Structure 1
Amino acid sequence: MMSSMTTAADRKLTGLVAATFTPFSQEGEVNLSEIGPYIDYLVKKQGVKSIFVNGTTGESMSLTVEERKVLAEAWCREARGKLDQVIVHVGCFNLKDSQELARHAAEIGADGIAVIAPFFFKPKTADVLRAFLQGVAEAAQTLPFYYYHIPAITGVNVQVRDLIDGIEKVIPSFRGVKFSGSDLMDFGQCVRYSQPEWSILYGVDEQMLAALALGAHGAVGSTYNYIGCHVNQLILAFEKGDHVRARTIQFKMQELLSFAIKLGFDVGVNKQLMIDVSGLCLGPPRLPVTPSPPDNSQLIIRKYRSLFSEC
């Protein structure tokens, strides 16, 4: 992580952030030995310098609280001196576990925490959701705090624009949103009304270019684990005004993902694609997520190689 000369709260999170997969052994246990090589791969091969750990891609809801602590510690330890920022997702179904993980993230030197909306008993209004987030943020007041919006999974469809209205008054550490939803109007309004120190990050990889046009400060996604170098080229092309080049890369991403979706794209299939591209030993997903069928994996990696060359 970055030098202690600046605190985590002083740094704005921008650019690409890889939502990491959790390495497991073949027996389904957490495999910490692969985290160091994983980080080296992201930096050297993909040009990705920030990560979002223990999120959806990391199968957080299939992990125990203790496993999430052990993983967060390993990611932060191995990232030191190599990555810019490590954001630890601490959201759980209940407030107490989320607070425990938030306190732990502060103790181990994480650069920020993120929280998903609880989605067994769901908050029905922006006020209730804001109160839940406030309860978690208060357990780690020194860490930048991000709301993780992913309504397709949580079923919590509170407009983020409503949620962030005045949120800095109740959560002084609030620093932005991981917006993994397709409502670009809501996203655009979040960008428009964001504070200068906030980061509004987009999380639907196949629509990233549209989010950049609306002013996204960066992006968090699973595909940046294995096509991050190409997406960095997309961002650079966009910034230079080469929209044809940027669209070409975005269309390739869409072609890969639409092909994979027809074959049942999920975390298990996505994880296998990462293994095939990177050569890392990340193991199978944990039930109820199931491994990718070998035939499908071969088709998807073949499609990937037809679209993307090594950077």
Structure 2
Amino acid sequence: MAFAANKMLTGLVAATFTPLTTQGEINLTEIGRYIDYLTEKQSINSIFVNGTTGESVSLSVAERKTLAEEWCQKAKGKMDQVIVHVGCMSLKDSQELARHAAQIGANGIAVIAPSYFKPSTADALRTFLHHVSSVAPALPFYYYHIPALTGVDVPLSDVLENIEELIPSFRGVKFTGCDLTEFGQCVSHSRPHWSVLYGIDEQLLAGLAMGAHGAVGSTYNYLGSHVHKLMSAFEKGDLIKARAIQFKIQELLSYAKKLGFDLGVNKQLMNDVSGLCLGPPRSPLMPCPHARALSIKQKYQSLFPEN
């Protein structure tokens, strides 16, 4: 594939939504248009597919394979990196998806902790991650830390301690948590070739101040162009401009949360802003009520009128 080989994952990474039909089936026809929208309208050159935003836990292994293959194929020559999330409750399913990701030319794989039978210690979690990474040893491997959803909140510093001895392909963390002390320790103890990516969109500026190498998030699908300006301002030391953009993002998401902001609402906002037809979420998530979608879209347009 035309992707960069073993290039560090930095900058903005969009956590993609999974296009579905109104009947809840995967819709591959939108993926090409989706990638063009991200690259041309939002200046996004890397994506994280089949993750939380992509409703991975509501998809079958076969569906996730089909989607991963389509994302990689359509991104060829257009994007720098496609990271495929392969985490599952079943180790065997995770391994199957990891092997497949290597076969289709993904640039890396990421894994969440199992959340039903949970690893209770750092050693248990490291062992699970090792078993997944071992079947695709040539692929950069990322741990996806999202304790609010997995319920697995073992100290990340313990998980990362000497992790390359067990997982030589380990290349970083997607840190989706609000504990900036833990995040700072993660950055502080990271290796030079690791990417530590922050995953709370409304706190990105704080993550950058703590040393994040980039960010993975759902709102970058439709706010990417603005967040690039935030990151550029931060790099230039213009904190007033960076804060102004961050505060707008916080205002949008705070407004949406008061109305009830979940993945279905987020996906509908992406539909409305982008003009893509990504469909509703899959059950048990519910479609966004029309009035709520309209109200959040109007708030978005008031804050970001140029879009």
Please state which band the TM-score falls in when normalised by the shorter chain: over 0.9
Structure 1 counterpart of 2:69: 73
Q: Is the 8 A contact 1:39 1:78 kept in 2?
A: yes
Which runs of 5 or more structure 1 residues have no equivalent in the other structure? Answer: none
Paired residues for 1:1-311 under 5 Å? 2-3=2-3, 7=5, 10-310=6-306
Q: Deviations over 1:169-226 (max 9, x none)?
A: 1000000000001111111011111011100000000000001001100000000000
TM-score (normalised: structure 2):
0.99
Q: Structure 1 counterpart of 2:256, which letter?
A: A
Whole-Å separation in 1 of the counterparts to 2:14 and 2:113: 20
Q: Is the 8 A contact 1:2 1:85 kept in 2?
A: no
Whole-Å separation in 1 of the counterparts to 2:234 and 2:102: 36
Whole-Å separation in 2 of the counterparts to 1:145 and 1:215: 20
Q: Deviations over 1:120-155 (max 9, x none)?
A: 000111110000000000010000000000011001
Q: Structure 1 counterpart of 2:19, which letter?
A: P
Q: Secondary structure at the match of 2:134?
A: helix
Whole-Å separation in 2 of the counterparts to 1:132 and 1:151: 16
How many matched pairs? 307
Q: Secondary structure at the match of 1:177?
A: strand
Q: Structure 2 counterpart of 1:154, which letter?
A: T
1:162 Cα deviation from its structure 2 partner:
1.3
1:26 Cα deviation from its structure 2 partner:
1.2
1:235 Cα deviation from its structure 2 partner:
0.2
Q: Secondary structure at the match of 1:140?
A: coil
Cα distance change, pair 27–154 in 1 and its aligned pair in 2 (3 A): same
Percent identity of paired positions between Structure 1 and Structure 2: 68
TM-score (normalised: structure 1):
0.97
Q: Secondary structure at the match of 1:139?
A: coil
Which runs of 5 or more structure 2 residues have no equivalent in the other structure? Answer: none
1:2 Cα deviation from its structure 2 partner:
4.0
1:309 Cα deviation from its structure 2 partner:
2.9
Whole-Å separation in 2 of the counterparts to 1:86 and 1:92: 19
1:94 Cα deviation from its structure 2 partner:
1.1
Q: Structure 1 counterpart of 2:61, which letter?
A: V
